[in-house]
Amino acid sequence: MQLAVFVIVLATVICGMLGEEGTYKSQPRVMSAMVRDLKYLGAIANSTADPFLDVENEIGRYETEMDLAGIKKIASMFKDTLFKYKNELCLGPVRTQLELCKRAIVVQLKVLLQFKVLYMAITRSEHMKHVFNSHLGPFFNQQIFTDDSVRTSIPEHIERFIGVM
C-alpha cells in the first residue's frame, strides 16, 4: 500500500493533479495509461492487508521449533569457529589496539549476547540461567577487550557449557 501511495504521489508530481483531466492530456498515451493504472491500483488496494504476514508466520514457526538441540548446534558452531580462528581473529595474544581486532572482539561479544538471549528465551529456567552465567557470564565485561587469557578461554568454556546442557 505504501508503495502504491508513493507511486501515486510521484505521478502527481510529474503529471500535475490527478483530478485535473487536462493536465496529462498533452502527455503521450503511455503517461495516460500509467495514470489510469495508478487510479485502478489505488481503488483495489486493501489498506488492512499485512504485507509481512507470511514473514511473521515464518518467524513464529521457528520460534516454536527452536529447542535445546538447536541451541547446542548454535553453540557448537560458535565454538568450532572460535577454535578455528583462535590466533587469527584477535582471540590470542595479539594487538587489540588494531581497529580490526576491536571490531572482531565486539562481534564475538554480540554473538555471545545473542546466544544468551536465545538460550534464556528457550530454557526459561532459573537453574539453566545459573548454569549459563557460571560458564559464560564472566565474558560479558570489559576484560574481553584487555585480557588475552579471557578471550582464549571462551571456546573451552563454551565446550564445557555444551557438556552440561
Per-residue pLDDT of the chain (165 residues; tens, 9 = 90+): 566 666 566 666 565 554 555 555 556 677 777 777 667 666 655 555 555 666 667 666 656 566 777 777 777 887 777 776 665 556 665 555 666 667 777 777 777 777 777 777 777 777 777 777 777 776 666 666 666 676 677 777 777 777 776
DSSP 139: G
Its pTM stands at 0.47
Beta strands in the chain (DSSP E): none
Q: Give dist(CA 165, CA 161) in Å, integer.
A: 6
Closest CA to 112 of 96, 91, 87: 91
Residue with cell 505521478: 11
Backbone dihedral region of 16: left (phi > 0), alpha (psi from -120 to 50 degrees) or beta? left
pLDDT of residue 134: 75
**Long-range contact pairs involving 137-140 (C-beta distance under 8 Å, separation at least 24):** 139/109, 139/112, 140/109, 140/112, 140/113, 140/116
